[in-house]
Amino acid sequence: MQIIEQVSTIRQTVQELRCKGKRIGLVPTMGALHEGHLQLLRTSVQENDITICSIFVNPTQFNNPDDYKLYPRMLEQDIALLKTVGCDYLFAPTAQEVYPQQQYLQFSFGKLEAVMEGEHRPGHFNGVATIVGKLFNFVQPHKAYFGQKDLQQVAIVRQLVHGLSFDLELVCYPIIREEDGLAMSSRNKRLNEKQRMLAPNLYKALQLAQSQLQAKPLQQIKEEVAAFLEPLEEVELEYFEFADSYTMQPVQSLQEGQELALCIAAYVGPVRLIDNLIVNLNES
């Protein structure tokens, strides 16, 4: 596996690969890799000639400076994992490489960034769109792979791809979970032992809501989810929402054939975690 830090080098490398007719898959990450990332990488290796993983803790998407400062960074461990799945290139630039000048560009995603993550993390999706747009320009992938855990982010990137006419296929891979149901996340590494035991309750809350979809009004289910989590020490619910899985807009009532996203965000101790379940109402 070749490690590249310079934007100019990744551009030249990609140009040479494309001239040889190679199909390129990109897996953008912020490092602290886990099995969820590795599944994305394995899929890319299977579907493309060349797989590039980017590792860059992007400062522009953190609305909380402490969150950025404490985000886990473990590059040597990540490199070892990348080698096990057959990744061809690691693109690991510095902030100066990615942002050589002050950023003034602003993206607007309308209603999509006014709910859930967009509402609770002002500026977050502008930072996401900025870095993803840059990576797409640097790497020029044929396919780009993202995880379903960041479902609203996938919707933002989908709109970015369509709006700026990026010539690539966006692949959204299902959530990979620990044995106790906790959605795999780099942030899980920040949980202490007690918090790690509490964290799977987010998934249990989603399962509780799913089990009651046909029996109770959505507002009542929301209240019961809040009541389920409220007694848990160190768990603070930020939001629980029913949304259209494509537009991410809130849903007030169920419709036959609808693909519904059950979305949750909560703090477990100081660590903010998100999770979701997608339910096809033909099957529920």
Please indicate if the annotation marks 150 as binding a ligand.
yes
Closest alpha carbon to 50 in 17, 72, 80: 17
Strand ranges across the sheet with 89-91: 2-4, 89-91, 50-55, 24-29, 143-147, 169-173
Does 131 count as an annotated binding residue? Answer: no
Among residues 241, 249, 246, the alpha carbon closest in space to that of 276 is found at: 241
Has 153 been labeled as part of a binding site?
A: yes
Q: How far apart are CA 57 and CA 30, in angstroms?
A: 5
The answer to whether 209 is annotated as binding is no
Give the count of alpha carbons within 13 A of 155, CB side only: 22
Q: Does residue 123 have a known ligand-binding role?
A: no
Tokens 């509490």 appear where? 198
* 35 annotated ligand binder: yes
195 is in an annotated binding site: no
Token pair of 170 as six digits: 């966006």
Which residues have a catalytic role annotated?
Answer: 37
Is 184 annotated to bind ligand? yes
- Residue 27's DSSP bridge partners are 53
Instruction: Give the pair of three-digit tokens for residue 276.
Output: 């979701």
37 is in an annotated binding site: yes
Does 120 count as an annotated binding residue?
A: no
Binding residues for (R)-pantoate: 61, 153
Binding residues for beta-alanine: 61
Binding residues: 30-37, 61, 147-150, 153, 176, 184-187
Binding residues for ATP: 30-37, 147-150, 176, 184-187
